[in-house]
Amino acid sequence: MDSTEAYEDIDDAMKFGNLDEIRHMVSMHRSEIGLDTFGAMAAFYNNVQLIQYVVEELGVDPQNSGLLSQATSKGYEEVVHYLVEQVGLDVRAQSNQALCNAFRNHHYELTEYLVKKGADITRLDRYMMEENRENPAVGKTNVEWLQAEHPQHFEWFKAFRKKYDPEKKQKLQNRHRNLRKWLRR
């Protein structure tokens, strides 16, 4: 059996989430398909059990296999929560790619969750100022494009950005530090 057929067999088993069948297929075709491919396939189907299997039993490196990026792109909250909270993936990895994926695909709950877990919100600022890659002929930045094409998403971004303004947070921390210093005198 060639790698294409093996991939299709494993893909069919993953579609239905049948772990026993997946284990059997993997044992038969492990040498034909790379481990990272198993990880990407598992993330595609929004199944935490599959993710657990590829990470814990197959030994797929969760940080470097694109699991988090795939899950945030698709908006798979349960998988993202598992990867961050149980596996301990770094939400800032790969230049905060997971954050950009979640935002770009309008998964706002995930976007906020990732920021709360430590993702760098300023990465969204840089993303918004980049030229829109989906339609470069338009000649607009992502923020201009979002404002023109999806005003409701633009309004969400403005409110979100205001809520999580790191400069505002830093000023507040400085005020608290100065107050503590003053009180110690």
- Coil vs helix vs strand at 118: coil
Eight-state DSSP code of residue 131? B
Amino acid at position 53, single letter: Y
pTM of the model: 0.75
User: Which residues, 6+ apart, have CB-to-CB distance to 132 below 8 Å?
Assistant: 138, 140, 141, 142, 144, 145
pLDDT of residue 134: 66
Residues 4, 46: Cα–Cα separation, whole Å: 22
Backbone angles phi, psi at 67, to 5 degrees: -60, -45
Could you tell me the residue ranges of all domains in the chain?
1-84, 130-185
Sign of CA dihedral 27, 77, 128, 132: positive
- List Cα–Cα distances, 83 to 57, 71, 114, 125, in angstroms: 15, 9, 12, 25
Residue corresponding to tokens 């309008």: 106
- List Cα–Cα distances, 84 to 36, 48, 78, 162, in angstroms: 18, 12, 10, 25
pLDDT tens-digit series, residues 61-75: 888 778 898 899 999
What do you get for the CA distance between the two ends of the chain, in Å?
A: 78
Q: What is the 3-state secondary structure (H, E, C) of 141-164?
A: EHHHHHHHHCHHHHHHHHHHHHHC
Per-residue pLDDT tens digits of the chain, which is 185 residues long:
677 887 888 888 888 888 898 888 888 877 777 777 777 778 788 889 988 998 898 888 888 778 898 899 999 999 999 999 999 999 998 888 899 899 888 898 999 999 999 998 888 777 777 766 666 656 777 778 778 888 888 888 888 877 877 666 666 677 767 777 776 76
Helix (H) or strand (E) holding 121: none
